Amino acid sequence: MSRNRDTGPAWSYHDSTKLSYIDLTSKPPLYKPSEGRPLVALPRGLPPPEMPAIQAAALPGGGSGGRVDVAAVAQLLHYSSGLVRKAVVPSVGEVHYRAAASAGALYPIEAYVVCGDVDGLPMGVYRFSPPEAGLYQVREGDFRRCLSLAEGDGDGPAWDAAVVLTAVFWRSAWKYRARSYRYCFWDAGTVLANLLATATALGLPGRVSAGFVDEEVDRLLGLEGGREAALCVVPLGDGTGSRRAPDCRLPTDARKAPAARGETVYPEMRELHRESCLGSVAEVQDWKGVLEPRPAEAAERSHPLEPAGPDLPSTDGLGRVIEDRGSTRRFAREPISVAQLDGALRASTGRLTADFLGPGADSLLDVYVIVNAVEGLEPGAYHLTPGGQELELLRRGAFRSEAGHLCFEQALGADAAAVVFLMADLQRVLGRLGNRGYRAAQLEAGVVGGRLYLATHALGLGATGITFYDDEVTEFFSPHARGKSAMFVVPLGRKAAENRVRPFRSAIGVKLDALARGAYPAGSNP
């Protein structure tokens, strides 16, 4: 049996990282050094993508066809991984704001480009530098066939360029320790959401490949897998008019990355990454796209999601939404319309074109929602049926305090108009996809979260990703969610006038504090 089929490491990692925190000590740099390589400047001042953001988010990578040129490369990278603005904050100094959201603003995700005959850009392998809006060449030549073979495509690439997202693990682990492995995939997912939406706005087809021979892709990018590793590949363009990629020999050079100052190795992260690697093309091909569809469940009472209609406000273009977007720090306790919630859910949960989903499998995820204040929808706990067609009411009631508690005792969950919980049946996912399925489920959750960011901001609302109490989320939505695990949580609603964190303590948190202090006698039931 291959290492990927022994799913013990995925379970061990998931259970051992259920919410941990760390005192902040020495922060790693946000960007990799140039390493003495010359910079290839990308075009600047290009017009932003004008497709309505909610439409671009709803059709990830849904372009009808077209060739990638250097202008498209510049836009794809800027609106997914680029530096969009800077600000000086008195307490922390200069702050860099990037196109996609990142847990703790640590930005562990790097973007590489593998391209062939791209107009205006020599064929090669490049690393994107956000602060310089340019590319550092890692290798010269057409390596598309090497990348295609590593992802199990023996026919060679029918695409112009691919973006490969990697994670510099210590950048996130510095703050979030072993749990940061999850956060790296969330962050990669939000970058992916922007990348695929931008591709759609530019008319370029794109898909997500999470299955590949890890060692070969890492070697192609010049990585040492322990500290930085490839997470996914996104081929873009239809290859029309591009010369066939030649057979190529995978580079044999390997660079051992030096440890960063104060870097700590978390064995459970290293073990899960190692045990979820795919070691051969045959293993990659066996892994891809054969997950069974989820069975539909009959709902006693449900709310059909409405398609975008006259009640849905017109939305800004994708480029402007990405440039203006920012994670919400405080929500006003004001209702949103049911059309806004429906629009955000429809735009964010449409089917993703990814190699871990078979022809009939719409998602690895189950979507649950706590509705606090949505006009036209009674407060309560809901489940979004497979395929995203309707919200079924699981339990009616006012659950603001519970939502704040589940969101790691944060006011954002209590104040939001709605809180979206992205969960996965890991027994189902790991049973078919092995440990690699854990990566895929976290990645897809990040993509859905990123699409929620785009859709809510396009609708004039706010959203933010948030951490959570794992087992208590499952318990809250049970019995319906029994056996499922929380992957990512996104509160959404109207932004407060003052966008600063509000102190909060739920009734549940107060009771837990009292128990910890011994204020309740042993055996009592507060």
Structure confidence at residue 436 (pLDDT)? 97
Instruction: Please say whether the beta carbons of 170 and 183 come within 8 A.
Output: no
* Continuous segment of H or E residues that includes residue 473: helix 470-477
Give how far Cα 514 sits from Cα of 239, 400, 406, Å: 63, 21, 18
Of 218, 190, 360, 362, nearest to 278 by C-alpha is 218
* Continuous segment of H or E residues that includes residue 230: strand 228-236
The CATH number linked to 470 is 3.40.109.10
Number of domains present in the structure of the chain: 2
Structure confidence at residue 63 (pLDDT)? 81
- Judgement on whether residues 269 and 418 belong to the same structural domain of the protein: no
Of 338, 329, 73, nearest to 204 by C-alpha is 73
Structure confidence at residue 242 (pLDDT)? 64
- Judgement on whether residues 311 and 407 belong to the same structural domain of the protein: yes
**Pairing assessment for the beta strands 228-236 and 161-168 based on DSSP bridges:** antiparallel
The Cα–Cα gap between 268 and 258 comes to 21
Structure confidence at residue 342 (pLDDT)? 94
The Cα–Cα gap between 46 and 136 comes to 21
Give how far Cα 296 sits from Cα of 113, 370, 381, 394, Å: 40, 21, 18, 15
Quick one: residue 222, left, alpha or beta (phi over 0 = left, psi -120 to 50 = alpha)? Answer: left
Domain boundary among 224, 253, 287: 287
Instruction: Please say whether the beta carbons of 432 and 455 come within 8 A.
Output: no
Q: Read out DSSP for 269-317? A: HHHHHHHT-B-SHHHHHHHSS-PPPPPP---SSEEEPPPS-TTSPP--B
* Continuous segment of H or E residues that includes residue 441: helix 426-458
CA 363, distance to chain mean position in Å, is 14
User: Is residue 110 classed as helix, strand or coil in its secondary structure?
Assistant: strand
135 lies in some domain: yes
The Cα–Cα gap between 98 and 86 comes to 9
- Judgement on whether residues 37 and 117 belong to the same structural domain of the protein: yes
3-state secondary structure 340-398: HHHHHHHHHHCCCCECCCCCCCCCCEEEEEEECCEECECCEEEEECCCCCEEEEEEECC
Give the side-chain half-sphere CA count within 13 A for 48: 17
How does 19-30 read in b/e, with b if 16+ C-beta sit within 10 Å?
eeeeeeeeebeb
489 lies in some domain: yes
Instruction: Please say whether the beta carbons of 288 and 211 come within 8 A.
Output: yes
- Judgement on whether residues 386 and 263 belong to the same structural domain of the protein: no
Which residues make Cβ contacts (< 8 Å) with residue 23, sequence separation at least 6? Answer: none
- List residues bridging with 111 in a β-sheet: 165
- Judgement on whether residues 322 and 459 belong to the same structural domain of the protein: yes
The Cα–Cα gap between 439 and 441 comes to 6
- Judgement on whether residues 260 and 208 belong to the same structural domain of the protein: yes
- Judgement on whether residues 275 and 348 belong to the same structural domain of the protein: no
- Judgement on whether residues 309 and 279 belong to the same structural domain of the protein: no
Structure confidence at residue 504 (pLDDT)? 83
Instruction: Please say whether the beta carbons of 480 and 394 come within 8 A.
Output: yes
523 lies in some domain: no
Give the side-chain half-sphere CA count within 13 A for 377: 30
The Cα–Cα gap between 404 and 11 comes to 27
Domain boundary among 226, 255, 287: 287
409 lies in some domain: yes
Which residues make Cβ contacts (< 8 Å) with residue 384, sequence separation at least 6? Answer: 345, 349, 366, 367, 368, 369, 390, 391, 392
89 lies in some domain: yes
- Judgement on whether residues 276 and 314 belong to the same structural domain of the protein: no
- Judgement on whether residues 421 and 326 belong to the same structural domain of the protein: yes
What token pair was written down for 134? 């340019």
The Cα–Cα gap between 297 and 348 comes to 21
What token pair was written down for 378? 């009674």
- Judgement on whether residues 181 and 308 belong to the same structural domain of the protein: no
19 lies in some domain: no
User: Is residue 204 classed as helix, strand or coil in its secondary structure?
Assistant: coil
Per-residue pLDDT for the chain (526 aa), expressed as one digit of tens each? 788 899 988 988 887 777 544 444 578 888 998 878 889 999 999 999 999 999 999 988 888 778 899 999 999 999 999 999 988 877 667 788 999 999 989 999 999 999 988 899 999 999 999 999 999 999 999 999 999 999 998 777 789 999 999 999 999 999 899 999 999 999 999 999 999 999 999 999 999 999 999 999 999 999 976 799 999 999 998 876 566 677 778 877 766 667 777 888 899 999 999 999 999 999 999 998 777 777 766 566 788 887 755 455 567 899 999 999 988 999 999 999 999 999 999 999 988 999 999 777 789 999 999 999 999 999 999 999 987 789 999 999 999 999 999 999 999 999 999 999 999 999 999 999 999 999 999 999 999 999 999 999 999 999 999 999 999 999 999 999 999 999 999 999 999 988 788 888 888 888 777 766 665 444 444 4
347 lies in some domain: yes
Helix axes 338-349, 426-458, angle to 10 degrees: 130
383 lies in some domain: yes
Structure confidence at residue 313 (pLDDT)? 59
Domain that includes residue 479, residue range: 302-509
Give how far Cα 277 sits from Cα of 10, 216, 218, 281, 433, Å: 12, 11, 11, 12, 12
Give how far Cα 98 sits from Cα of 84, 86, 191, 470, Å: 5, 9, 10, 28
- Judgement on whether residues 352 and 429 belong to the same structural domain of the protein: yes
Structure confidence at residue 224 (pLDDT)? 75
